[in-house]
Copies of this chain bind each other. A is one copy, B any other.
Amino acid sequence: MRPIRVGLLGIGTVGGGTWDVLSRNADEIQRRAGRAIQITQVADKAVGFARKKVGKKAQVLSDAFEVVRAKDVDIVIELIGGTTVAKELQLEAIRHGKHVVTANKALLATHGNEIFAAAQKKGVMVAFEGAVAGGVPIIKALREGLTANRIEWIAGIINGTSNFILSEMREKGLSFDAALKDAQKRGYAETDPAFDIAGVDAAHKLTILSALAFGIPMQFAKCYREGIEGLTQEDIGYAEELGYRIKLLGITRRAKKGIELRVHPTLVPTQRLIANVEGVMNAILVKGDAVGPTLYYGAGAGALPTASAVVADLVDVTRLITADPEHRVPHLAFQPDQLSSTPVLPIDGVETSYYLRMRVADKPGVLADITRVLADCRISIEAMVQKQPAERKREVDIVMLTHRALERDVNQAIKKMGKLKTVLGAIVRIRQESLL
């Protein structure tokens, strides 16, 4: 059989890694795929750099649109990123009957519904294992490995940069700012780190996982986001004392009234495996009704790990390229006419547990006032510690963990407690999940 001909759009970090993996493991890959896979065309604005990288082994073009329209290309790999040109390129590739492999989570989370519909209509595949957790085959696990299950929830560390920062804060006692600077120095965080630390990147990935788990369309706009910028050493320390670590988790859950879809710092019991995932590594916990909890762990970013996913997709697409579309796994795990309209829950309809910290005046009756407000708001307390801060003599820190409560009730309680004269400054609220 003739080799599968691939057009590569973007030969930067991941594109370069994909070129390298396909070259160095060509034999191993062909032994598995039963067919050679060759990148025959490369499009990159840095034509000179691209030429130097690929030599005479592939044609180099500056116009990516030429590649997606080329007659002698079977699969297009889009690694340009972003949601504008990349979208046009993917749609144009589909229009020309090309299969698409991509790691572009931002594009899929925001325009995936349109792209998958176009691909469905044209009978081509869009594969995207590299979009979540680098080379960890979590998309495959959800679309194929766990098909027997009614998925109950997913909780994942899916942004390596913010996990690195949280690890540094906990292990070295650094402030958020210092840990961020460290991450930037090591090349883990961009000069403008907002995308990672504010949870946008994690929300893109969570949107994709949620669609696959529950058979719902991509709904990035409805994903609740809270970043790690506000976390302090105090809260990391108190959490540790209570037996918890703070992780930026993406959580999506099938609740009674809808699907929860939320990214925020979360207290996780220290003995959970996922609480011990440190540095830039990613891990995703998936709870199925039959299989129970399963966890998938590995490098969430980087040239070669992401290339591992891109090339695995190439092999999958290569195997099914001449098969009827009906033999293929549906893009979003469920048949396209079987997507569910279950709504995404607004955050104040979410029920979970909470860590609350507040500084109060050290006077009689303070605790009685606070616990009265909580009781009035239907919130019960699971654990509480009271600590004298070193620097203030007549003030006390109160830290508590609540039982499960409705976010709306907790917000109301925080508002009411904030109005008490004895409560000094802002009340810190971090969600807590037992993940069982």
Asked, given contacts A140-B144, A273-B273, A273-B297, whether A327 binds B333 with beta carbons under 8 Å apart, the answer is: no
A309→B145 CA distance, assembly (Å): 7
Question: Which of the residues B33, B135, B319 comes within 8 Å of A294, measured between beta carbons?
Answer: B135
State the copy count for this chain: 2
Question: Is A308 close to B, CB under 8 A?
Answer: yes
Contact, CB under 8 Å: B327 / A322? yes
Which residues from B are CB-within-8-Å of A134?
291
Contact, CB under 8 Å: B150 / A141? no
Q: Which 7 A-B pairs have the closest CB atoms?
A: A137-B145, A148-B311, A135-B291, A294-B298, A291-B308, A295-B297, A31-B338
Given A134-B291, A141-B141, A292-B305, 19 further pairs, Cβ under 8 A: A25-B149, A28-B149, A28-B150, A29-B148, A31-B215, A31-B338, A32-B330, A32-B333, A135-B292, A144-B315, A145-B312, A290-B307, A290-B308, A291-B298, A294-B297, A295-B295, A295-B296, A319-B327, A327-B327
Question: Is A323 close to B, CB under 8 A?
Answer: yes
Question: Which of the residues B145, B304, B328, B330 comes within 8 Å of A290, measured between beta carbons?
Answer: B304
Which residues from B are CB-within-8-Å of A295?
283, 295-298
Which residues from B are CB-within-8-Å of A25?
148-150, 289-290
A316→B140 CA distance, assembly (Å): 12
A 329-347 to B, binary, CB cutoff 8 A, 1 in contact else 0 = 1100111001000000000
Asked, given contacts A31-B335, A293-B298, A295-B296, whether A307 binds B148 with beta carbons under 8 Å apart, the answer is: yes
Chain B, Cβ-Cβ closest to A324: B323
Q: Which of A166-220 contact B (CB under 8 A)?
A: 215
A303→B429 CA distance, assembly (Å): 40
Whole-angstrom distance between the Cβ of A206 and the nearest chain B Cβ: 20
Contact, CB under 8 Å: A148 / B31? no
Q: Which of A270-306 contact B (CB under 8 A)?
A: 273, 276-277, 283, 288-299, 304-305
